[in-house]
């Protein structure tokens, strides 16, 4: 094994193992362990509660952690990016559907544009603010809002088993299985984004422990 491979292998191994553990945990939590009572039948999946983990969202901040430098400073930058980006989406969603509800998209477009402007302008506050991380976090919340039925904007977007224990699905993914009220969309996304940052720093620290140290001359 060459020197480059020896340097990369520990990080790749750690990330591979942690990716497996996160995927196994998050999917079982969402579809088997913490579901609406009476919905988890043998050979199937249960209806997720309003609080659930979003498997791919953690990989966003996990990758951003390494893009920002992969160190303690990067952890702080991406954590703040998750706060700013997700809160901007939290404010945007209700403003968007109160401005123009289904089927008019211009209300969503207007407020996304306004908050995109604000998120970039915050750069004047200093180098501690990492706008390249804030945008993906902002988008992650919107992605889950769209995937789960756009509650508030789309009719019956969260009129679902996940929201009320009802039998009629809404407009979300899995035929309405993951339809979620918009406030929970934000909370689930924020928690999962933070988990991604934690996975980032844990993978970095563990890889450093496993990486062979250069021999002293």
Longest dimension (CA), the chain: 71
Write down the pLDDT at residue 175. Answer: 67
Alpha carbon dihedral 91, 95, 97, 99, in 10-degree steps, equals -170
Q: Does the structure show a pLDDT above 70 at 195?
A: yes
Three-point CA angle 58, 110, 84, nearest 5°: 35
End-to-end CA gap in the chain: 22
> Could you tell me where the beta strands, DSSP code E, fall in 48-167?
none
Predicted model pTM: 0.91
Name the average pLDDT for the chain. Answer: 90
Q: Does the structure show a pLDDT above 90 at 209?
A: yes
Work out the pLDDT band at 167, boundaries 50, 70, 90: very low
Distance CA 36, CA 180 (A): 13
Share of the chain above pLDDT 70, in %: 89
Write down the pLDDT at residue 166. Answer: 46
């Amino acid at each position: 094994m060459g020197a480059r491979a020896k340097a990369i292998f520990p990080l790749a191994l750690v990330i591979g193992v942690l990716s497996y553990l996160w995927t196994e945990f998050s999917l079982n939590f969402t579809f088997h362990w913490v579901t609406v009572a009476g919905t988890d039948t043998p050979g199937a999946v249960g209806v997720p509660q309003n609080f659930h983990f979003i498997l791919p969202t953690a990989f966003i901040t996990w990758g951003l952690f390494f893009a920002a430098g992969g160190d303690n400073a990067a952890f702080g930058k991406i954590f703040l990016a998750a706060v700013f980006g997700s809160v901007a989406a939290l404010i945007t969603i209700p403003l968007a559907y109160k401005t123009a509800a289904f089927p008019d998209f211009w209300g969503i477009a207007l407020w996304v544009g306004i908050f995109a402007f604000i998120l970039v302008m915050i750069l004047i506050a200093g180098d501690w603010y990492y706008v390249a991380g804030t945008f993906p976090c902002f988008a992650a919340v919107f992605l889950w809002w769209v995937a789960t039925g756009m509650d508030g904007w789309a009719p019956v977007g969260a009129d679902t088993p996940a929201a009320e224990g009802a039998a009629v699905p809404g407009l979300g993914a899995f035929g309405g299985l993951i339809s979620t009220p918009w406030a929970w969309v934000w909370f689930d996304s924020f928690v999962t984004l933070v988990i991604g940052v934690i996975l980032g720093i844990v993978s970095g620290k563990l890889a450093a422990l496993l990486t062979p140290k250069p021999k002293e001359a």
